[in-house]
Structure 1
Amino acid sequence: MADLPNKARVVIIGGGVIGCSVAYHLAKQGWKDIVLLERKQLTSGTTWHAAGLIGQLRASSTMTKLAKYTTDLYHKLEAETGISTGIKANGSISVAITEERKEELYRAAAMARAFDVDVEEISPETAKKMYPHLNIEDVCGAVYLPNDGQGDPANVALALAKGARMMGAMIRENVKVTGVSRAEGRVTGVDWAAGEEQGHIEAEFVVNCAGMWGHEVGRMAGVNVPLHACEHFYIVTEAIPELTELPVLRVPDECAYYKEDAGKILLGCFEPHAKPWGMNGISEDFCFDQLPEDFDHFEPILEMAVNRMPMLAEAGIHTFFNGPESFTPDDAYHLGEAPELRNYYVAAGFNSIGIQSAGGAGKALAEWMEAGEKPFDLGGVDISRMQPFQGNKHYLFERSKETLGLLYADHFPYRQKATARGVRRTPFHGLLDQNGAVFGESAGWERANWFANEGQEREYQYTWKRQNWFENSAAEHRAVRENVGMYDMSSFGKLRVEGPDAETLLNHVCGANMSVPVGKIVYTQFLNSKGGIEADVTVTRLSETAYLVVTPSGTRLADQTRLQRHVGDLRVVITDVTAGEAVLAVMGPNARALLQKVSPNDFSNAVTPFGTAQEIEIGMGLARAHRVTYVGELGWEIYTSSDMAEHVFETLMQAGQDMDLKLCGMHMMDSCRIEKGFRHFGHDITSEDHVIDAGLGFAVDMSKHDFIGKAAVAARKESGPKMRMVQFKLTDPEPLLYHNEPLIRDGEIVSYISSGNYGHTLGGAIGMGYVPCEGESAADVLASSYEIDVMGTRVKAEASLKPMYDPKAERVKV
């Protein structure tokens, strides 16, 4: 008998390490009536065969904090539960065989210091002393993290499960969830089967922790969980007599990692071209299963390993293992409430870092479920970042071939995915392609990032230094600053919010006042209850009852979901019209002159002042011209229906021939915006960043009767900012900034760069970053001296609270 209740507060689907962690952390928060259902046995999917590497440094400060929490938790679990997690802090070494990899590792080491992670750059000779079996003949650098380590994956999960049981959670094995019920946009429960027995549990919450089954389990509820299983290979040697305890070793240039365990070596790999698995579904009886060996596929990795670790040539192979693990389209896991269904949460797709992520991810999700909103910035893993098309099985199959290997590939700035491309194209795509566009991808959209010169290779040549498109983008930058440039913004999300209560809804969700005349454009944020920034948008009033909300391409679904969930009884319809309108940005000192050549409308300040939109004729077509800018110059965004898009493009291009109109890309837009100090959502401003600290208090109208976050904004206005967003310029024009470089104030690391790019007009790398300043004035902040750590070298930086470029915004209003 399954002995299951008819009702529960939460049902967790899946008994791997993450499902057990969610149950543990919900119980620790005091939740009762927790039920975890596992189709076979705990850990029997992926957890049992994980390598168990536990690293503390992740790609963001939040993810690093969660990784550190995971390590601390695993150390404490044995005392709490009596089950050994096998956790040991034997450290880790990563070695570089190329100068490019060395720069990546050293930049990562600098980032680690900014995130308060103990790290040390070490010489190849020191690496050899710490790992005597390592061949360092061609090693050019290394980093050591002493608090990294390894653990026993299955026992970690079983300890979490026992801890959850000790606090009252019910965990049942051999019970399969066969369906998910829903009503009025909320999850209401699950159907289950245990042998011949069947039943239903009514539940307030459901959590999909089904691992490589997560995609199919999501579809039961109409929820998109994009992930795909891939074959993951490792070998375990016979016992090696002279082997002593060693740090974890990573050689990413050879796609390999090495773990010493019980006198044996485990050699695993993340090869560049992976083997997707389970295209036709996963066998019903899959449980602690291995996949067929493929020695030919693994052989190139082994050959390099024997050279790197010569003793492996003499060691026998005890186990050749091949097991499936799930991978997501962007190599970040899925966490959070599904946009399609209230109270349906997801924690799945951990891309081979499930053991080192599970503790922190389980804690974060439990807090999210308790509060009903993200406890801190989790935008990089929030499942609402995934686009609906990314659940397409063919897409997932193609993309998964690449994502496994990207874990150990060079993580160059601006690196573009190579697989599963060309899914979403704007109406201008073909015309941009004909004119030399080099495309990147955002939320599946093909976007022109830069334009190649005649005869130039139309491809990225990646490096940590100036990439091959640097001068191309500089020329585009100068065109926008000095003359006129045009670029495609069609991929940005466009949400039509319409109905008698549209103004009421937007005034509740937005910080700014939406009670504005028709044609007015308002820059605003969606705030959370803490005053953090959930979205950064412009809102244009199209009519008495209709508004257009324009969002970044990657957050369109999240922003639409947030609006929809506050509609309640209001008479409002929200429609994604992104694909219905194409958008060309015409920017630069001569933008007005160009538009006057192609349209009979008046583009003067008197008729179309900054921050307004008007219907226009253009060529033989119609459009709507929004006078707004993200590059800090005079300009308009031209919205036209998709059927007229090519005509509008051709009309502008022809008229611009004698004006030296230049086509521009997204890299130009980013370099211009950072010179102007404009914030980038997801980097400079997130749900964790208070709108006052971000310097965006001007976009909040405190005279409104009520809006989300009003109390938090009032409190921060009263107390003053705890952090200040500061713009920095390196005094040395050569180094480049990307993000996460340590920010040094008066000799001490106080923060890190949230975003960086090169300022071609200002003549140096520009960075944005928060400086802690509780109780300090703006003058106090600027009175300090600042440096930024670039790959271990401290570079002096000028600091400004006002935009370094056009601080009075005179150029946009000319």
Structure 2
Amino acid sequence: MVAEIPTKARAVIIGGGISGCSVAYHLAKAGWTDVVLLERKRLTSGTTWHAAGLIGQLRGSANMTRLARYSAGLYVGLEAETGIATGMRQVGSISVALKADRMEELRRQATLARIFDVEVQEVSPAEIKAMYPHLNVSDAVGGVHLPLDGQCDPANIAMALAKGARMRGAVIAEGVRVTRVTQAAGQVTGVDYESAEGPGHIAADVVINCGGMWGRDLAAQNGVTLPLHACEHFYLVTEPIEGLGHLPVLRVPDECAYYKSDAGKMMLGAFEPKAKPWGMGGIRADFEFDTLPEDWDHFQPILEAAMERMPLFQSAGIHTFFNGPESFTPDDRYYLGPTPELGGYWVAAGYNSIGIASSGGAGMALAQWITEGEPPFDLWEVDIRRAQPFQKNRRYLKERVSETLGLLYADHYPYRQMGTSRGVRRSPLHAALAARGAVFGEVAGWERANWFAMPGQTAEYRYGWGRANWFDNHRAEHMAVRTGVGLFDMTSFGKIRVEGRDACAFLNRVCSAQMDVAAGRIVYTMMLNARGGIEADLTVTRLSETEYLLVVPGATLTRNLAWLRAHLGDDFAVVTDVSAGEAVLCLMGPLAREVMARVSPQDFSNGGHPFGQAREIEIGMGLARAHRVSYVGELGWELYVPTDQAAHVFEILLEAAPEMRLCGLHALDSCRIEQAYRHWGHDITDEDHVLEAGLGFTVSRKKTGFIGREAVLRREEAGLSRRLVQFLVRDPEAMIFHNEAIVRDGRIVGPVTSGNYGHALGGAVGLGYVPCAGQSEAEVLGSAYEIEIAGRRYRAEASLLPMYDPASGRMRL
């Protein structure tokens, strides 16, 4: 076998589970025949061989659903292509709700399925019983049925993918352990390996880490962040049950359980609320097709509930009680794409127990990304560049994955916060905010005040689908910004310095707006890709002739840094993350100018400090840089304060402005959505054209040579195919969060990309794209619109301009 291993390849794939086999298959299918897959033991011997093999087509977004549906279609056809039976059967799936909140979630999922054209039916307890006669539905509220979901034989699918790759010229070698990914000058150069015949090396342009639970430690050798950790995953299989037949895959998430009939036996699996992390001290070198010790005490609550839910478990014998490891990530989403730390190093790993359903589509998407230089569509949800460097910390991972496994079947309430591994990244004001009632959420490890409890109110979330326990707090904070003054701690902003002789030329090449502006000028701009899609949404402040400050969302900082560094080329400039150096206090509202005048001797009039300008100011006994910009649509300043002076500035503001209200991120979000300001990752992504997003004003038509310019000009000439529209639903029952259906003249045309409650507008507000090819603005707005929420439709007002302050004049007062 070693004789078959070449000394050079275009791509080397590490790991022979279904993920690695899918990447090999799709790279070979794309025409890369000089591909080598190396598996340390035997194919499927890590996690794939013991996976349950559930194939669900519906995911939480359009693109994740596209990948899952691709997987299902691929697996259906693999047997004919390769001659290897895949066990793929589209038996359908049923999810059962035992409480009203779960039924609300399932109805929202059914709406999502209709948006994505996935066949779905809401079913009553009687209809569930008819499809699943063994089930006790006495306390069931209802459920949803997806008839085209299915199940498969995971190991055989991986083998079929491997055979398909070999048929197209790929080399797949078992018993070959990669010891190191080699690199030089920031680029991978190949891999070193050990086999029974001795050591070897393959020179390669691209290396793909599909190492599963081994992937984190392998990546760490090259300084690559791949935050995942194995957990124990339990299921049992009964002895044969006469007459069982092919039943739909069944999920009872309120009991943390799933059921699958296979070969006349019944499987019961669990995603228990508190999982057991495994492999903290490393994984044995000889680990192969291994199982972990039984733990009946841990599984007992699941089994006891199953015996009531499906009485056949009371009499059926148990053939197998299985415990095996699977990889989980801090946010229950897998990792795909190029790593920001090392050129040519790619990842497809961390599948959170949905690796079989995901790997077909993930392999396709990654192969296109590698071979064509860009992904087939927006993949931010699973992009490896969302991972934060600190997240590879083992203690952090061990605690977090004990929660994320169980969250797969938990209620997916809006605004639900993680309970584990908290407090890693904190603003200098964290303790002061907590003492004043702050209730924190976490993004990219940052603790951020989401809302503030009133005196005597319990400072914690109570989750649900209707008006939250903090709804009145939210309204008070929102209206303080609209009518008075509010203060936000936005220290979590990502802050990037670009400095050097060519800083201006470099930024003019990667940014859509003109960067050659006077020192102190703040420019709102996009970074576009060659398709005109939005890679980043940011402000750029020119600090001096050779220095700029870029401000981006904290969640996208790693991605944005990677984009900048990848396009630096020969320009003489340095890109530096300076996020931790400054705290950011945002003072926003009609009274902000009065407050600033009380704490600083500078002139804050329109003449003294115009909108879109930044300058150094004295504040209290310290210094700060005041940026006159706004993400809430009101007069205000972002104060960039050296971290060591942040507490002082905060205290000075509190003392000077007793009328000022502390505000959280929920209020920031509701204010921005009233103003129809876009949110990157929801309303705008690298797949969304800047003109269709309504952000053409950020693109300079005068300058040349910037990335995306030609795509903008082409789209201007051809016309838009869709437009981002703002919607307002005044019905007090309607709560818009994300992924509700936009209904135009009775037909679903797409999802709501983001939503919140607009307290100044008096109803729920959402943004979303509406088809408009060949149509005027009047024709787009002349339709009748509704928003479908959990199967119920609510009349909606639509606008192409912000419904709150359409001329955006308030922030320039």
**TM-score strictly above 0.5:** yes
Q: Is the 8 A contact 1:124 1:136 kept in 2?
A: yes
In the other structure, the counterpart of 1:593 is 594
Alpha-carbon distance in structure 1 between the residues aligned to 2:121 and 2:500: 59
Deviations 1:52-94 (A, max 9, x none): 0000000110000111111000001001000011101000000
In the other structure, the counterpart of 1:296 is 297
In the other structure, the counterpart of 2:610 is 609
In the other structure, the counterpart of 2:793 is 794
Deviations 1:684-724 (A, max 9, x none): 00011000000000000021121111111100111121110
Q: Is the 8 A contact 2:586 2:639 kept in 1?
A: yes
Q: Secondary structure at the match of 2:680?
A: coil
Q: Percent identical across equivalent pairs?
A: 64
Q: Secondary structure at the match of 1:770?
A: strand
Alpha-carbon distance in structure 1 between the residues aligned to 2:555 and 2:430: 19
Give the AA of the match of 1:763: G
1:672 and 2:671 aligned: yes
Q: Secondary structure at the match of 2:11?
A: strand
Alpha-carbon distance in structure 2 between the residues aligned to 1:196 and 1:643: 59
Greater shift in the superposed pair: 744-753 or 665-674 = 744-753
Give the AA of the match of 1:755: S
Q: Secondary structure at the match of 2:84?
A: coil
In the other structure, the counterpart of 2:348 is 347
Shift of 1:430: 1.0
In the other structure, the counterpart of 2:578 is 577
Alpha-carbon distance in structure 2 between the residues aligned to 1:574 and 1:19: 34
Alpha-carbon distance in structure 1 between the residues aligned to 2:74 and 2:245: 26
Deviations 1:590-633 (A, max 9, x none): 00000000000000111211111111000000000000011000
In the other structure, the counterpart of 1:805 is 804
In the other structure, the counterpart of 2:724 is 725
In the other structure, the counterpart of 2:204 is 203
Alpha-carbon distance in structure 1 between the residues aligned to 2:126 and 2:762: 39
In the other structure, the counterpart of 1:234 is 235
In the other structure, the counterpart of 1:152 is 153
Q: Secondary structure at the match of 1:424?
A: coil
Alpha-carbon distance in structure 2 between the residues aligned to 1:53 and 1:32: 31
Give the AA of the match of 1:483: G
Q: Is the 8 A contact 2:37 2:172 kept in 1?
A: yes
1:714 and 2:713 aligned: yes
Alignment of 1:298-337 (within 5 A): 298-337=299-338
Shift of 1:5: 1.0
In the other structure, the counterpart of 1:767 is 766
In the other structure, the counterpart of 2:682 is 683
1:93 and 2:94 aligned: yes
Shift of 1:682: 0.3
Deviations 1:297-332 (A, max 9, x none): 000000000010011101110000000000000000
Alpha-carbon distance in structure 1 between the residues aligned to 2:208 and 2:224: 12
Deviations 1:135-165 (A, max 9, x none): 1111101000000000000000000000000
Alpha-carbon distance in structure 1 between the residues aligned to 2:757 and 2:460: 20
1:696 and 2:695 aligned: yes
Give the AA of the match of 1:674: I
Q: Is the 8 A contact 1:520 1:612 kept in 2?
A: yes
Alpha-carbon distance in structure 1 between the residues aligned to 2:306 and 2:268: 8
In the other structure, the counterpart of 2:245 is 244
Greater shift in the superposed pair: 222-231 or 772-781 = 772-781
Greater shift in the superposed pair: 469-478 or 215-224 = 215-224
Q: Secondary structure at the match of 1:542?
A: strand
Q: Is the 8 A contact 2:617 2:625 kept in 1?
A: yes
In the other structure, the counterpart of 1:161 is 162
Q: Is the 8 A contact 1:755 1:768 kept in 2?
A: yes
Q: Is the 8 A contact 1:734 1:764 kept in 2?
A: no
Alpha-carbon distance in structure 1 between the residues aligned to 2:563 and 2:132: 51
Shift of 1:742: 1.1
In the other structure, the counterpart of 1:113 is 114
Give the AA of the match of 1:444: G
In the other structure, the counterpart of 1:779 is 778
Greater shift in the superposed pair: 411-420 or 769-778 = 769-778
In the other structure, the counterpart of 2:144 is 143
Alpha-carbon distance in structure 2 between the residues aligned to 1:367 and 1:474: 46
Shift of 1:733: 2.6
Q: Secondary structure at the match of 2:164?
A: helix
Shift of 1:184: 1.2
Shift of 1:221: 2.1
TM-score relative to the length of structure 1: 0.99
Give the AA of the match of 2:2: A
Shift of 1:731: 3.2
In the other structure, the counterpart of 1:367 is 368
Alpha-carbon distance in structure 2 between the residues aligned to 1:102 and 1:44: 38
Q: Is the 8 A contact 1:788 1:794 kept in 2?
A: yes
Q: Secondary structure at the match of 2:304?
A: helix
Alignment of 1:486-565 (within 5 A): 486-565=487-566
Alpha-carbon distance in structure 2 between the residues aligned to 1:513 and 1:32: 44
In the other structure, the counterpart of 2:473 is 472
Give the AA of the match of 2:766: G
Alpha-carbon distance in structure 1 between the residues aligned to 2:313 and 2:157: 29
Q: Secondary structure at the match of 2:380?
A: coil
In the other structure, the counterpart of 1:20 is 21
Alpha-carbon distance in structure 2 between the residues aligned to 1:407 and 1:606: 54
Alpha-carbon distance in structure 2 between the residues aligned to 1:171 and 1:324: 24
Q: Is the 8 A contact 2:2 2:197 kept in 1?
A: no
Q: Is the 8 A contact 1:500 1:572 kept in 2?
A: yes
Deviations 1:177-203 (A, max 9, x none): 001111111111000000251011000
Q: Secondary structure at the match of 1:794?
A: strand
Give the AA of the match of 2:764: A
Q: Secondary structure at the match of 1:207?
A: strand
Alpha-carbon distance in structure 2 between the residues aligned to 1:733 and 1:360: 40
Alpha-carbon distance in structure 1 between the residues aligned to 2:759 and 2:474: 9
TM-score relative to the length of structure 2: 0.99
Alpha-carbon distance in structure 2 between the residues aligned to 1:593 and 1:431: 24
Q: Secondary structure at the match of 2:316?
A: coil
Alpha-carbon distance in structure 2 between the residues aligned to 1:609 and 1:108: 47
Q: Is the 8 A contact 1:589 1:634 kept in 2?
A: yes
Alpha-carbon distance in structure 2 between the residues aligned to 1:219 and 1:596: 51
In the other structure, the counterpart of 2:429 is 428
In the other structure, the counterpart of 1:66 is 67
Alpha-carbon distance in structure 1 between the residues aligned to 2:12 and 2:246: 41
1:419 and 2:432 aligned: no
Give the AA of the match of 1:570: D
Q: Secondary structure at the match of 2:691?
A: coil
Q: Is the 8 A contact 2:466 2:733 kept in 1?
A: no
Q: Secondary structure at the match of 1:415?
A: coil
Shift of 1:794: 1.0
List, as ranges, runs of 4+ consecutive aligned residues in structure 1 with deviation greater than 6 Å.
none
Give the AA of the match of 1:404: L
Alpha-carbon distance in structure 2 between the residues aligned to 1:587 and 1:183: 49
In the other structure, the counterpart of 2:653 is 652
Q: Secondary structure at the match of 1:157?
A: helix
Deviations 1:244-288 (A, max 9, x none): 210000000000000000111000000000000001100000000
Alpha-carbon distance in structure 2 between the residues aligned to 1:222 and 1:581: 26
Shift of 1:374: 2.6
Q: Secondary structure at the match of 2:2?
A: coil
Q: Secondary structure at the match of 1:586?
A: strand
1:482 and 2:483 aligned: yes
In the other structure, the counterpart of 2:264 is 263
Alpha-carbon distance in structure 1 between the residues aligned to 2:800 and 2:372: 34
Alpha-carbon distance in structure 2 between the residues aligned to 1:433 and 1:111: 37
Alpha-carbon distance in structure 2 between the residues aligned to 1:379 and 1:505: 25
In the other structure, the counterpart of 2:182 is 181
1:661 and 2:651 aligned: no
Shift of 1:777: 1.3
Q: Is the 8 A contact 2:235 2:268 kept in 1?
A: yes
In the other structure, the counterpart of 1:454 is 455
Alpha-carbon distance in structure 2 between the residues aligned to 1:577 and 1:470: 35
1:754 and 2:753 aligned: yes
Q: Is the 8 A contact 1:635 1:812 kept in 2?
A: yes
Structure 1 unaligned blocks of 5 or more:
none
Q: Secondary structure at the match of 1:604?
A: coil
Deviations 1:514-570 (A, max 9, x none): 011101111111111100011111111111101110000100011011111111111
State the aligned residue count.
Answer: 812
Give the AA of the match of 2:131: M
Q: Secondary structure at the match of 1:380?
A: helix
